[in-house]
């Protein structure tokens, strides 16, 4: 392990990056190192942003929070909780995936990975909730973009670009995120015994209503044991639909779901079980302590059936985002290669979330089939980081 | 009115006939006669006019790509144009540019209800998308007030919002994918019918980039199922402060209305005279709140909103009891611009965003400015998301008045930035506000943006002169002198 430098303010981050920029000396950027994500990279220096932390301002009535990037997700969520607010994009806690226990990491890390939970299809991804940021670019300059307001067309929307850039464009020092009032109530309607094809059709039926479903996932029969909730029936596949809002409205909408899916075997999870269910699902506890390659596949809903018909026997998986996302794991590298080909052909995007270091070193983390996209990405990287010193190679080899 | 635009290249001007001939190789729709060019000399910000060198109206992506590639190879500037309704001058032509109008890209290509999206060409109007899917109970959420005329391509360029963006977001939150052509002719498809793309979020950075990064040739937009029930309520207040604090209270109580608009007294009177929407004439501020959801949820929320209004000393309220009545409530608000057009020979519509709790403060300041400049102003706000649209009235027959109106507008926007807001909520910067960018951003910030532009367009040929200040001494090349970090480009040409 190389030397880790942990600055305590923006100026120190800027000075450090400026020096490295002059020497073209590559830097790995970490928060509290909770996510083993992206390609393994060789850097002589590590920049740890954990000590750039603290809540800068929080105005609940303005629906935003401004924090330093090294602030722990836990601290921020507790603060929001005290005002009965939350992040709409439901940040994932990947600690269960990597270490078998909760470890949410820093907000900077969450932003850098654009991590969004089950509500994403209804309310947008993290990138839709980042209102503004401050950062140090690869030349050591302090830059900012955006602001604290939701409507903003003032120059390029760099907030979108830094979300999910895995620290390859700049070192985030401050982020401003939109927050939302917590929903007063929620319940989850579970349907049992469907095949994946039936599930995708059921998603369509549910989404073709005005019921404002805010969570829609499907677990095949042998992958449901970890839920251990009273009203979740075991040994059967589960399709779950979450409804949130004022209590009477939620109950009305659950009634309507009962009518729509009257012929199905179902149960309803009350608010406590519903919350627990979606937390387990969001934090990928299906893959807890599993020693396999874990991937995220985002693809058009209409291609999900074909994908599963081809691959469901070779993978452990669940479907989220009403059919738009498949989380999966496999031990077999060959299967991953085949899935990459399928993904490129069908306009999907396959991302490796967990694998051993050897795979992370030698194989692609993202699957990019478009050379022009890669050329432009490389130019964008240089426009922020001309000497390619920030997390070089983390997203793509050579970028 | 003198507006500083990038210097015209005499060689390009001299070569007009050759360039036009060459352009005809790529598309049969090239306009170059003076009379043909006139309709393209301005956009929604019609105080500025400039005829381009030529206008092209390509019909497919291949033509767009070939034209751009040709212009790139011959260093010819290109200004893209949608429906020409933009209010910040984003598609104002340059004397030596090829204006690329996307008007012939006017077809909806696919309605895909399974993936809940529509694939469309960029020249299709915003409203036409909703009209194409409404028989199946779907709609496209962003609804700028020009939705009847403005195009999806233009919406993408300016990241347009509308009255419902509080709950459903602006264009950036509702577009899933685009096909774009870069200035060198490269065709790129970004995003698609899926939700998350890996790699840098080029889709996100393209939204609201005001035609500086590429030309959109196709868009995939998200469609939503219509809510079960929608109701609106009109609430009158005796002071703008009370209306502002009612808005803050509604939001902080956890209610997210579909829309929440404030109009001030001058606008209430003007719209009432014009559209007869049934607004009360004896209030200082009128709030329109629209709630959607299930029927019982809407009932409960409307009641909550009325309770909050009462606590904020509301003097008037009326809830809609039918869809016709609800549409009537909106009729006045949506006629705001036309109504001002009747009472004043000219007006400019400003656009800034501020924190919600500063509404009353900013409005008070606008009224002071109105007295200072001796120009009338009427205000409407997308109050829920702090987006304000003061309408400054003036008479362009008096050359001094336009200058006064612009100074007035600039003062408002500077104040928006001062209270923690931004220069534009949904109209974009264009040429109108580019010199004010230095109010918000310092040299580093602007240089970073300019260097991103170079990644897409290294010769700076696509829509130059927009969004970023035009600096003597070549700010684009990174040679701005900053004194003690405070200099705000003193040598800028101001207009």
pLDDT tens-place string over residues B9-47: 999 999 999 999 999 999 999 999 999 999 999 999 988
Final residue of a domain: which of B101, B120, B140? B101
Cα separation, B406 vs A255, in Å, equals 57
Q: What is the per-residue pLDDT across B201-244, written as a single tens digit (0 to 9) for each?
A: 999 999 999 999 999 999 999 999 999 999 999 999 999 989 99
In a domain, residue B442? The reply is no
Give the separation between CA A338 and CA A332, rounded to whole angstroms.
Answer: 10
Phi and psi dihedrals of A44, rounded to 5? -75, -20
Q: Are A157 and A145 in contact (CB under 8 A)?
A: yes
Q: Are residues B74 and B132 in the same domain?
A: no
Q: Which residues of A touch B112 (CB under 8 A)?
A: 302
Query: Look-up: residue for tokens 């130019």?
Result: A379
Tell whether the model's pLDDT for residue B492 goes beyond 80. no
Residue B388: phi and psi, rounded to 5, are -110, 145
Q: Are residues B288 and B400 in the same domain?
A: yes
Residue B472 above 90 pLDDT? no
Residue whose structure tokens are 């390609």: A39
A242 and A315 inside one domain: no
Q: Where in the sequence is the domain holding B85, given as residue range(s)?
A: 10-101
Residues B295 and B428 occupy one common structural domain: yes
Facing residue for A207 by CB, picked from B116, B294, B297: B116
Res B471: pLDDT? 58
For residue A308, tell me if it sits in a domain.
yes
Domain identity same for A86 and A165: yes
Contacts of B463 (CB under 8 A, 6+ apart): B77, B78, B79, B80, B90, B91, B210, B211, B212
In a domain, residue B70? The reply is yes
Q: With bands split at pLDDT 50, 70 and 90, how would you rate the model's confidence at A323?
A: very high
Q: Look at residue A48 in the predicted model and tell me its pLDDT.
A: 96
Single out the residue of B105, B100, B158, B106 nearest to residue B128, CA to CA: B106
- A376 and B254 within 8 Å at the Cβ level: the answer is no
Query: Do residues B37 and B57 touch, judged by C-beta distance below 8 A?
Result: no
Contacts of A255 (CB under 8 A, 6+ apart): none
Res B485 pLDDT > 50: no
Residues in chain A with CB shorter than 8 Å from the CB of B425 are 149, 151-153
pLDDT in the model for residue B494: 26
Return the H-helix or E-strand segment holding A347: none
Q: What pLDDT, on the 0 to 100 scale, is given for residue A2?
A: 64
Q: Is B116 found in the same domain as B38?
A: no
C-beta of residue B297 within 8 angstroms of C-beta of residue A249: yes
The answer to whether residues A162 and A215 belong to one domain is: no
- CATH number where B407 lies: 3.40.462.10
Nearest CA in chain A to B254: A181
A273 with A346, same domain? Answer: no
- For residues A82-107, average pLDDT: 95
CA atoms of A47 and A115, how far apart (whole Å): 21
Domain boundary among A282, A302, A321: A282
- The nearest CA of chain B is from the CA of A234 a distance in Å of 30
Determine the pLDDT at residue B480. Answer: 38
Q: How confident is the model at residue B483 (pLDDT cuts 50, 70, 90)?
A: very low
B309 and B411 assigned to the same domain: yes
Nearest residue of chain B to residue A254 (CA atoms): B294
Enter the tokens of residue B355: 């924190």
Taking a C-beta distance cutoff of 8 angstroms, is the pair A91, A180 a contact?
no
CA distance B387 to chain A (A): 7
For residue B482, pLDDT beyond 70: no
Query: Is A184 close to B254, i.e. CB distance below 8 A?
Result: yes
Which chain B residues are within 8 Å of A395, Cβ to Cβ? 199
Return the C-alpha torsion angle A315, A317, A323, A325, nearest 10: -90
A144 and B CB contact within 8 Å: yes
Q: Is the pLDDT assigned to residue B287 strictly greater than 60?
A: yes
Contact A103, A91 (CB under 8 A): no
**pLDDT higher than threshold 80 for residue B370:** yes
Q: A282, A310, A338 — which closes off a domain?
A: A282
Please give the structure tokens belonging to residue B206. 């393209």
Tell me which of A314-318, B63-67, B333-337 is least confident: B333-337
Is A58's Cβ below 8 Å from some Cβ in B?
no
Q: Nearest C-alpha of chain A: how many angstroms from B397?
A: 31
What span, in angstroms and rounded, lies between the C-alpha atoms of A41 and A167?
A: 12
pLDDT tens across A251-307, in order? 999 999 999 999 889 999 999 999 999 999 999 999 998 999 999 999 999 999 999
Is there a domain that residue B348 lies in? yes
Q: Do A349 and B187 touch (CB under 8 A)?
A: no
- Does residue A189 share a domain with residue A152? no
* A254 inside domain: yes
Query: What's the rounded Cα separation, in Å, for the pair A54 and A76?
Result: 9
User: Which residues in chain A have Cβ-Cβ distances shorter than 8 Å to B190?
Assistant: 373
Asked if A366 and B165 come within 8 Å (Cβ–Cβ), the reply is no
Which chain B positions have a beta carbon within 8 Å of A376's beta carbon? 182, 186, 188, 202, 455-456
**pLDDT tens sequence across A126-137:** 999 999 999 999
- Quick check: B172 pLDDT over 50? yes
Please name the member of A182, A347, A395 whose beta carbon is closest to the beta carbon of B199: A395
A169, A73: one domain: yes
Examine the pLDDT at B493 and tell me if it is beyond 50. Answer: no
CATH code, domain carrying A335:
3.30.70.250
Is A368 part of the contact surface with chain B (CB cutoff 8 Å)? yes
d(Cα B238, Cα B228) in Å, to the nearest integer?
34
Query: Quick check: A359 pLDDT over 50?
Result: yes
The percentage of residues in chain B with a pLDDT greater than 90, rounded to a whole number, is 81
**B481 pLDDT tier (thresholds 50, 70, 90):** very low
Residue B399: in which H helix or E strand, if any?
helix B399-418
Residue B3 forms part of a structural domain: no
B78 three-class SS = strand
Q: Which domain holds residue A337?
A: 285-362
Tell me if A114 and B201 make a contact (CB, 8 A cut-off): yes
- Please give the full DSSP string across B348-369, using - where no structure is assigned: EE--EE--GGGHHHHHHHHHHH
A293 and A268 part of one domain = no
Q: Same domain, yes or no, for A175 and A209?
A: no
On whether both A53 and A176 belong to a single domain, the answer is: yes
Query: Are B251 and B363 in the same domain?
Result: yes
CB B43 within 8 A of CB B469: no
Domain end position, chosen among B175, B196, B225: B225
Q: Do A143 and B444 touch (CB under 8 A)?
A: yes
Same domain, residue pair A275 and A291 = no
As a whole number of angstroms, the distance between CA A61 and CA B247 comes to 10
Read off the pLDDT band of B2 (50, 70, 90): low
Cα–Cα distance measured from residue A331 to residue A320, given in angstroms and rounded to the nearest whole number: 21
- Given A181, A198, A233, the domain boundary residue is A181
The answer to whether the CB of B449 falls within 8 A of the CB of A155 is yes
Pick the closest to residue B413 from B395, B387, B394 (CA basis). B387
In a domain, B5, yes or no: no
CA atoms within 13 A on the CB side of A216: 25
- Indicate if the pLDDT at residue B490 is higher than 80: no
B81 and B16 share one domain: yes
Residue where one domain finishes, among candidates B200, B225, B250: B225
Asked if residue B143 and residue B83 are part of one domain, the reply reads: no
CA dist B122 → B71, B101, B105, B150, B191 (Å): 21, 10, 6, 10, 16
Average pLDDT value for residue range A182-187: 95
Whether A153 sits inside 8 A of B427 (CB atoms) is yes
- Condensed to tens digits (0 to 9), the pLDDT of residues A2-48 reads 689 999 999 999 999 999 999 999 999 999 888 889 999 989 999 99
Q: What is the ipTM of this complex?
A: 0.96
The CATH number of residue B61's host domain is 3.30.43.10
Q: What is the CATH number for B191?
A: 3.30.465.10
- Average per-residue pLDDT in chain B? 91
Q: Which helix H or strand E contains A308, and what residues bound it? A: helix A301-311
pLDDT tens per residue across span A166-178: 999 999 999 999 9
Residues A69 and A168 in one domain: yes
**Same-domain status, A164 and A216:** no
Domain count, chain A: 3
CATH number at residue A65: 3.30.465.10
Query: Considering its fold, how many domains does chain B have in total?
Result: 4
Instruction: State mean pLDDT over B238-257.
Output: 91
Cβ <8 Å between B449 and A158: yes
Question: Distance between CA atoms of A180 and B439, rounded to whole angstroms?
Answer: 29
Query: Does the beta carbon of A301 lie under 8 angstroms from any beta carbon of chain B?
Result: yes
Residue A230's closest CA among A286, A187, A258, A272?
Answer: A272
Q: Looking at residues B168-176, what average pLDDT do you find?
A: 96
Residues B74, B179 share a domain: no
Asked if the structure places residue A34 within a domain, the reply is no
Task: Using an 8 Å CB-CB cutoff, list chain A residues near B201.
Answer: 114, 127, 160-161, 163-165
Decide if A384 is inside a domain. Answer: no
């Amino acid at each position: 392990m190389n030397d880790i430098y942990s600055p305590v303010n923006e100026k120190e981050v800027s000075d450090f990056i400026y020096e490295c920029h002059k020497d073209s000396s590559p830097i790995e950027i970490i928060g509290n190192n909770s996510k083993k994500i992206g390609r393994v990279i060789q850097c002589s220096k590590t920049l740890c942003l954990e000590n750039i932390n603290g809540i800068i301002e929080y105005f609940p009535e303005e629906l935003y929070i401004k924090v330093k990037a090294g602030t722990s997700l836990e601290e921020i969520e507790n603060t929001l909780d005290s005002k009965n607010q939350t992040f709409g994009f439901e940040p994932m806690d990947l600690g269960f995936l990597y270490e078998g226990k909760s470890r949410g990491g820093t907000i900077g890390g969450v932003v850098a990975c654009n991590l969004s939970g089950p509500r994403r299809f209804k309310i947008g991804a993290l990138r839709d909730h980042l209102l503004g940021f401050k950062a140090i670019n690869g030349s050591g300059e302090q830059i900012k973009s955006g602001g604290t307001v939701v409507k903003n067309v003032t120059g390029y929307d760099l907030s979108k670009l830094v979300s999910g850039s895995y620290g390859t464009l700049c070192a985030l020092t401050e982020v401003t995120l939109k927050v939302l009032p917590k929903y007063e109530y929620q319940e989850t309607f579970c349907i049992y015994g469907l095949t994946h094809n039936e599930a995708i059709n059921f998603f369509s039926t549910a989404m073709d209503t005005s019921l404002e479903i805010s969570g829609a996932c499907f677990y095949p029969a042998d992958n449901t044991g970890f839920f251990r909730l009273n009203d979740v029936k075991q040994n059967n596949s589960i399709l779950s639909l979450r409804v949130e809002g004022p209590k009477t409205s939620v109950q009305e909408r659950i009634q309507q779901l009962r009518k729509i899916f009257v012929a199905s075997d179902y149960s309803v999870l009350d608010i406590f079980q519903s919350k627990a269910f979606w937390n387990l699902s969001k934090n990928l506890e299906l893959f807890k302590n599993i020693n396999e390659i874990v991937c995220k596949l985002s693809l058009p809903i209409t291609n999900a059936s074909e994908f599963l018909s081809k691959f469901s026997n070779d993978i452990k998986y669940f479907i989220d985002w009403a059919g738009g996302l498949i989380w999966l794991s496999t031990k077999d590298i060959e299967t991953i290669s085949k899935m990459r080909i399928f993904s490129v052909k069908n306009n999907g995007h396959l991302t490796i979330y967990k694998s051993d270091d050897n795979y992370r070193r030698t194989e692609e983390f993202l699957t990019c089939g478009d050379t022009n996209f890669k050329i432009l990405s490389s130019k964008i990287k240089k426009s922020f980081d001309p000497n390619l010193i920030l997390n070089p190679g983390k997203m793509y080899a050579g970028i | 009115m003198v507006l500083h635009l990038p210097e015209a290249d005499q060689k390009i001007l001299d070569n007009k006939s050759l360039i036009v001939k060459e352009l005809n190789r790529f598309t049969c729709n090239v306009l170059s006669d003076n009379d043909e060019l006139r309709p393209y000399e301005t956009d929604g910000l019609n105080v500025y006019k400039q005829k381009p060198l030529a206008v092209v109206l390509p019909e497919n992506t291949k033509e767009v790509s070939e034209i751009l590639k040709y212009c790139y190879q011959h260093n010819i500037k290109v200004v893209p144009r949608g429906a020409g309704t933009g209010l910040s001058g984003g598609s104002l032509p340059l004397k030596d540019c090829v204006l690329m109008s996307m008007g012939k890209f006017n077809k909806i290509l696919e309605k895909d209800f399974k993936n809940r999206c529509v694939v469309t060409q960029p020249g299709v109007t915003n409203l036409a998308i909703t009209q194409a899917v409404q028989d199946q109970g779907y709609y496209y959420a962003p609804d700028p007030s020009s939705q009847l005329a403005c195009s999806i391509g233009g919406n993408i360029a300016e990241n347009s919002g509308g009255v419902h963006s509080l709950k459903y977001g602006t264009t950036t939150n509702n577009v899933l994918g685009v096909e774009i052509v870069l200035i060198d002719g490269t065709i790129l498809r970004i995003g698609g019918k899926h939700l998350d793309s890996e790699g840098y979020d080029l889709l996100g950075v393209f939204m609201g980039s005001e035609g500086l990064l590429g030309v959109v040739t196709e868009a995939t937009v998200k469609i939503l199922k219509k809510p079960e029930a929608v109701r609106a309520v009109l609430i009158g207040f005796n002071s703008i402060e009370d209306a502002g604090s009612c808005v803050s209270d509604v939001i902080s109580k956890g209610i997210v209305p579909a829309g929440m608009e404030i109009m001030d007294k001058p606008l209430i009177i003007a719209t009432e005279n014009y559209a007869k929407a049934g607004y009360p004439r004896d209030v200082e501020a009128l709030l329109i709140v629209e709630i959607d959801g299930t029927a019982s949820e809407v009932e409960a929320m409307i009641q909550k909103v009325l309770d909050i209004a009462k606590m904020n000393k509301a003097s008037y309220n009326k809830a809609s009891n039918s869809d016709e009545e609800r549409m009537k409530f909106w009729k006045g608000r949506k006629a705001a611009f036309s109504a001002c057009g009747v009472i004043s020979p000219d007006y400019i519509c400003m656009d800034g965003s501020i924190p919600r709790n500063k509404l009353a403060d900013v409005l008070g300041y606008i009224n002071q400015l109105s007295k200072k400049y001796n120009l009338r102003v009427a205000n409407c706000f997308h109050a829920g998301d702090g987006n304000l649209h003061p309408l400054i009235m003036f008479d362009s027959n008096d050359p001094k008045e336009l200058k006064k109106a612009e100074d007035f507008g600039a003062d408002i926007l500077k104040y928006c930035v001062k209270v923690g807001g931004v220069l534009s909520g949904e109209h974009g910067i264009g040429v109108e506000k580019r010199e004010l960018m230095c109010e918000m951003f310092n040299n580093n910030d602007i240089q970073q943006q300019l260097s991103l532009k170079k990644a897409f367009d290294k010769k700076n040929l696509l829509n130059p002169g927009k969004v970023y200040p035009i600096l003597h001494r070549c700010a684009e090349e990174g040679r701005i002198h900053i004194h003690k970090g405070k200099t705000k480009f003193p040598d800028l040409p101001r207009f």
